[in-house]
Amino acid sequence: MRHHGRMHAQPGVGLRPDAPWGYLPASSFRSRRSALSDAQRQTWERLWPQLGRQADAGETPGETPDTPLDTRAWFGRSAPLVLEIGCGSGTSTLAMAQAEPDIDVIAVEIYRRGLAQLLCAIDAEQVGNIRLIRGNGVDVLKDLIAPRSLTGVRVFFPDPWPKARHHKRRLLQTGTVSLIADRLLPGGVLHAATDHPGYAEHIGAVGDAEPRLVRADPDSESLPISISRPTTKYETKAQEAGSHVCEFVWKRI
Protein backbone atom coordinates (compact mmCIF):
# COMPACT_ATOMS: atom_id res chain seq x y z
CA MET A 1 0.00 0.00 0.00
CA ARG A 2 1.19 3.51 -0.71
CA HIS A 3 1.19 5.40 2.55
CA HIS A 4 -0.48 8.75 2.07
CA GLY A 5 1.63 10.71 4.50
CA ARG A 6 4.96 9.07 3.79
CA MET A 7 7.93 11.19 4.77
CA HIS A 8 11.46 9.99 4.09
CA ALA A 9 14.21 10.88 6.54
CA GLN A 10 17.79 11.22 5.49
CA PRO A 11 19.85 8.11 6.24
CA GLY A 12 21.68 8.30 9.51
CA VAL A 13 19.45 10.95 11.06
CA GLY A 14 18.43 9.90 14.54
CA LEU A 15 16.37 11.42 17.32
CA ARG A 16 16.90 14.76 18.95
CA PRO A 17 16.15 15.95 22.51
CA ASP A 18 13.51 18.66 22.53
CA ALA A 19 12.12 19.60 25.95
CA PRO A 20 9.45 19.46 27.25
CA TRP A 21 8.26 16.49 25.14
CA GLY A 22 11.47 14.50 25.23
CA TYR A 23 12.46 12.88 21.96
CA LEU A 24 10.85 13.71 18.63
CA PRO A 25 11.45 11.99 15.30
CA ALA A 26 14.23 13.54 13.25
CA SER A 27 12.90 16.33 11.06
CA SER A 28 15.48 16.49 8.27
CA PHE A 29 13.83 15.15 5.14
CA ARG A 30 14.64 14.94 1.48
CA SER A 31 11.88 16.38 -0.59
CA ARG A 32 11.06 14.17 -3.57
CA ARG A 33 11.34 16.13 -6.80
CA SER A 34 8.56 15.47 -9.28
CA ALA A 35 7.46 17.65 -12.14
CA LEU A 36 4.03 19.22 -12.13
CA SER A 37 1.82 19.16 -15.18
CA ASP A 38 1.19 22.48 -16.90
CA ALA A 39 -2.28 22.67 -15.36
CA GLN A 40 -0.95 21.89 -11.89
CA ARG A 41 1.81 24.47 -12.25
CA GLN A 42 -0.63 27.16 -13.37
CA THR A 43 -2.99 26.39 -10.47
CA TRP A 44 -0.06 26.38 -8.06
CA GLU A 45 1.17 29.77 -9.23
CA ARG A 46 -2.33 31.22 -8.99
CA LEU A 47 -3.50 29.79 -5.67
CA TRP A 48 -0.46 28.87 -3.57
CA PRO A 49 0.23 32.46 -2.41
CA GLN A 50 -3.27 32.55 -0.93
CA LEU A 51 -3.87 28.98 0.22
CA GLY A 52 -0.38 27.62 0.92
CA ARG A 53 2.85 28.31 2.71
CA GLN A 54 6.23 26.74 3.32
CA ALA A 55 6.66 25.53 6.89
CA ASP A 56 10.05 27.14 7.41
CA ALA A 57 9.80 30.23 5.25
CA GLY A 58 7.91 32.74 7.38
CA GLU A 59 6.11 33.80 4.21
CA THR A 60 3.20 35.58 5.85
CA PRO A 61 3.95 39.25 6.72
CA GLY A 62 4.76 39.65 10.39
CA GLU A 63 5.43 35.94 10.86
CA THR A 64 8.74 34.23 11.44
CA PRO A 65 9.20 30.45 11.16
CA ASP A 66 8.67 30.04 14.91
CA THR A 67 5.59 32.28 15.19
CA PRO A 68 2.26 30.44 15.55
CA LEU A 69 -0.04 30.84 12.57
CA ASP A 70 -2.77 33.43 12.69
CA THR A 71 -5.39 31.01 11.40
CA ARG A 72 -8.24 33.49 11.78
CA ALA A 73 -6.54 35.82 9.33
CA TRP A 74 -5.56 32.98 6.99
CA PHE A 75 -9.05 31.47 6.78
CA GLY A 76 -10.88 34.76 7.21
CA ARG A 77 -13.00 33.43 10.05
CA SER A 78 -12.90 31.82 13.49
CA ALA A 79 -13.74 28.10 13.35
CA PRO A 80 -12.64 24.78 14.89
CA LEU A 81 -9.25 23.83 13.46
CA VAL A 82 -8.02 20.40 12.29
CA LEU A 83 -4.44 19.58 11.32
CA GLU A 84 -3.88 16.65 8.96
CA ILE A 85 -0.28 15.43 8.87
CA GLY A 86 0.75 13.68 5.67
CA CYS A 87 -2.23 14.41 3.41
CA GLY A 88 -0.70 12.80 0.30
CA SER A 89 -2.73 13.86 -2.73
CA GLY A 90 -5.55 14.98 -0.45
CA THR A 91 -8.36 12.56 -1.32
CA SER A 92 -9.44 12.16 2.30
CA THR A 93 -8.66 15.80 3.09
CA LEU A 94 -10.99 17.12 0.43
CA ALA A 95 -13.88 14.76 1.17
CA MET A 96 -13.76 15.33 4.93
CA ALA A 97 -13.51 19.10 4.56
CA GLN A 98 -16.49 19.10 2.20
CA ALA A 99 -18.48 17.06 4.73
CA GLU A 100 -17.66 19.55 7.51
CA PRO A 101 -17.73 23.06 5.99
CA ASP A 102 -17.82 24.65 9.46
CA ILE A 103 -14.40 23.21 10.32
CA ASP A 104 -11.11 24.61 8.99
CA VAL A 105 -8.46 22.12 7.85
CA ILE A 106 -4.71 22.61 7.50
CA ALA A 107 -3.17 19.85 5.37
CA VAL A 108 0.57 19.21 5.78
CA GLU A 109 2.65 17.33 3.22
CA ILE A 110 6.29 17.17 2.15
CA TYR A 111 5.74 16.51 -1.53
CA ARG A 112 4.83 19.36 -3.84
CA ARG A 113 3.04 17.19 -6.37
CA GLY A 114 0.62 15.84 -3.77
CA LEU A 115 -0.14 19.37 -2.62
CA ALA A 116 -0.58 20.47 -6.23
CA GLN A 117 -3.11 17.68 -6.80
CA LEU A 118 -5.03 18.78 -3.72
CA LEU A 119 -4.83 22.42 -4.77
CA CYS A 120 -6.33 21.55 -8.17
CA ALA A 121 -9.14 19.62 -6.48
CA ILE A 122 -9.83 22.53 -4.12
CA ASP A 123 -10.05 24.81 -7.15
CA ALA A 124 -12.30 22.47 -9.12
CA GLU A 125 -14.66 21.84 -6.21
CA GLN A 126 -14.47 25.41 -4.88
CA VAL A 127 -13.75 24.27 -1.33
CA GLY A 128 -12.98 27.19 0.96
CA ASN A 129 -12.00 25.59 4.27
CA ILE A 130 -8.63 24.00 3.42
CA ARG A 131 -5.16 25.53 3.67
CA LEU A 132 -1.88 23.79 2.85
CA ILE A 133 1.59 23.71 4.40
CA ARG A 134 4.57 22.15 2.71
CA GLY A 135 6.93 20.75 5.32
CA ASN A 136 7.47 18.27 8.12
CA GLY A 137 4.48 17.71 10.41
CA VAL A 138 6.57 17.70 13.59
CA ASP A 139 8.08 21.09 12.73
CA VAL A 140 4.63 22.46 11.92
CA LEU A 141 3.27 21.29 15.27
CA LYS A 142 6.26 22.60 17.18
CA ASP A 143 6.76 25.95 15.47
CA LEU A 144 3.49 27.02 13.87
CA ILE A 145 0.68 25.65 16.05
CA ALA A 146 -0.13 27.23 19.39
CA PRO A 147 -0.85 25.10 22.49
CA ARG A 148 -4.51 24.20 22.98
CA SER A 149 -5.53 25.49 19.55
CA LEU A 150 -6.52 22.35 17.62
CA THR A 151 -9.88 20.61 17.69
CA GLY A 152 -8.41 17.64 15.88
CA VAL A 153 -5.26 16.03 14.48
CA ARG A 154 -5.47 13.42 11.72
CA VAL A 155 -2.64 11.05 10.77
CA PHE A 156 -3.70 8.55 8.13
CA PHE A 157 -1.34 5.80 6.96
CA PRO A 158 2.02 7.29 7.97
CA ASP A 159 5.13 5.50 6.77
CA PRO A 160 5.50 2.41 9.02
CA TRP A 161 9.28 2.17 8.60
CA PRO A 162 8.97 -1.62 9.00
CA LYS A 163 12.66 -2.44 9.58
CA ALA A 164 13.60 -2.39 13.26
CA ARG A 165 16.58 -0.12 12.70
CA HIS A 166 14.25 2.47 11.16
CA HIS A 167 11.58 2.48 13.88
CA LYS A 168 13.09 5.66 15.33
CA ARG A 169 11.95 7.46 12.16
CA ARG A 170 8.27 6.71 12.70
CA LEU A 171 6.15 9.82 13.06
CA LEU A 172 3.91 8.65 15.89
CA GLN A 173 6.26 8.20 18.82
CA THR A 174 6.07 9.23 22.46
CA GLY A 175 7.44 12.72 21.86
CA THR A 176 5.21 13.47 18.90
CA VAL A 177 2.07 12.21 20.62
CA SER A 178 2.94 14.35 23.65
CA LEU A 179 3.32 17.35 21.34
CA ILE A 180 -0.02 16.60 19.68
CA ALA A 181 -1.69 16.37 23.09
CA ASP A 182 -0.20 19.75 23.99
CA ARG A 183 -1.65 21.33 20.84
CA LEU A 184 -5.14 19.84 21.26
CA LEU A 185 -7.92 21.67 23.04
CA PRO A 186 -9.56 19.80 25.92
CA GLY A 187 -11.95 17.42 24.21
CA GLY A 188 -9.91 17.58 21.00
CA VAL A 189 -9.37 14.40 19.00
CA LEU A 190 -6.36 12.52 17.67
CA HIS A 191 -7.49 10.21 14.84
CA ALA A 192 -4.91 7.84 13.37
CA ALA A 193 -5.08 4.91 10.97
CA THR A 194 -2.57 2.35 9.72
CA ASP A 195 -2.63 -0.93 7.81
CA HIS A 196 0.71 -2.11 9.24
CA PRO A 197 0.20 -4.53 12.20
CA GLY A 198 3.49 -3.74 13.92
CA TYR A 199 2.99 -0.01 13.65
CA ALA A 200 -0.60 -0.38 14.86
CA GLU A 201 0.65 -2.05 18.04
CA HIS A 202 3.21 0.73 18.48
CA ILE A 203 0.67 3.52 17.88
CA GLY A 204 -1.77 2.01 20.35
CA ALA A 205 0.92 1.75 23.01
CA VAL A 206 2.26 5.30 22.71
CA GLY A 207 -1.22 6.80 22.49
CA ASP A 208 -2.47 4.95 25.56
CA ALA A 209 0.68 5.94 27.46
CA GLU A 210 0.05 9.67 26.97
CA PRO A 211 -1.62 10.83 30.23
CA ARG A 212 -3.58 13.64 28.56
CA LEU A 213 -5.29 11.29 26.08
CA VAL A 214 -8.02 8.72 26.63
CA ARG A 215 -9.56 6.35 24.11
CA ALA A 216 -12.79 7.66 22.64
CA ASP A 217 -15.75 5.51 21.66
CA PRO A 218 -17.33 7.14 18.61
CA ASP A 219 -20.34 4.83 18.89
CA SER A 220 -21.30 6.03 22.34
CA GLU A 221 -20.02 9.60 22.66
CA SER A 222 -20.19 12.79 20.68
CA LEU A 223 -16.93 14.05 19.19
CA PRO A 224 -16.17 17.58 17.93
CA ILE A 225 -15.07 16.34 14.49
CA SER A 226 -16.15 13.50 12.24
CA ILE A 227 -14.02 10.38 12.13
CA SER A 228 -15.76 9.11 9.00
CA ARG A 229 -13.14 9.09 6.26
CA PRO A 230 -13.39 7.88 2.67
CA THR A 231 -11.74 4.66 1.56
CA THR A 232 -9.07 5.58 -0.97
CA LYS A 233 -8.03 3.39 -3.90
CA TYR A 234 -4.76 2.58 -2.13
CA GLU A 235 -6.60 1.39 0.96
CA THR A 236 -8.93 -0.69 -1.20
CA LYS A 237 -5.94 -2.42 -2.79
CA ALA A 238 -4.50 -3.14 0.65
CA GLN A 239 -7.77 -4.63 1.85
CA GLU A 240 -8.00 -6.77 -1.27
CA ALA A 241 -4.47 -8.00 -0.48
CA GLY A 242 -5.61 -9.00 3.02
CA SER A 243 -4.37 -6.03 5.04
CA HIS A 244 -6.46 -4.93 8.00
CA VAL A 245 -6.81 -1.23 8.76
CA CYS A 246 -6.59 -0.25 12.43
CA GLU A 247 -8.27 2.98 13.51
CA PHE A 248 -7.37 4.86 16.68
CA VAL A 249 -9.35 7.70 18.24
CA TRP A 250 -8.18 9.47 21.39
CA LYS A 251 -9.65 12.48 23.12
CA ARG A 252 -7.73 15.00 25.17
CA ILE A 253 -8.97 15.13 28.76
Determine the Cα–Cα distance for residues 47 and 51; give it in Å rounded to an integer.
6
Determine the Cα–Cα distance for residues 191 and 148; give it in Å rounded to an integer.
16
Between the alpha carbon of residue 61 and those of residues 26, 73, 81, 199, 223, the distances in Å are 28, 11, 21, 40, 35
9 vs 237, higher pLDDT: 237
Beta bridge partners of 52: 132
Determine contact, residues 197/245, Cβ cutoff 8 Å.
no
Single-letter code of the amino acid located at 9: A
Nearby residues of 233 by Cβ (< 8 Å), 6 or more positions away: none
At 240 the pLDDT is 84
At 115 the pLDDT is 97
Determine the Cα–Cα distance for residues 233 and 249; give it in Å rounded to an integer.
23
Mean pLDDT of 78-106: 97
Determine contact, residues 120/39, Cβ cutoff 8 Å.
yes
Mean pLDDT of 79-103: 97
Q: Is 56 a catalytic residue?
A: no
Q: Assign domain 71-252 to its CATH architecture.
A: 3-Layer(aba) Sandwich (3.40)
The answer to whether 136 is annotated as binding is yes
Out of 159, 182, 208, 217, which one is annotated catalytic?
Answer: 159
The answer to whether 195 is annotated as binding is yes
pTM of the model: 0.86
pLDDT reading at 129 higher than 80: yes
The answer to whether 100 is annotated as binding is no
Pairing of strands 213-215, 130-134: unpaired
Domain boundaries, the chain: 71-252
Mean pLDDT of 248-252: 98
pLDDT reading at 163 higher than 90: yes
Counting every residue written for the chain, the total comes to 253
97 vs 25, higher pLDDT: 97
The answer to whether 159 is annotated as binding is yes
Mean pLDDT of 70-75: 97
Of the pLDDT bands very low, low, confident and very high (cuts 50, 70, 90), residue 89 is very high
The answer to whether 251 is annotated as binding is no
Pairing of strands 104-109, 130-134: parallel
The answer to whether 84 is annotated as binding is yes
At 67 the pLDDT is 82
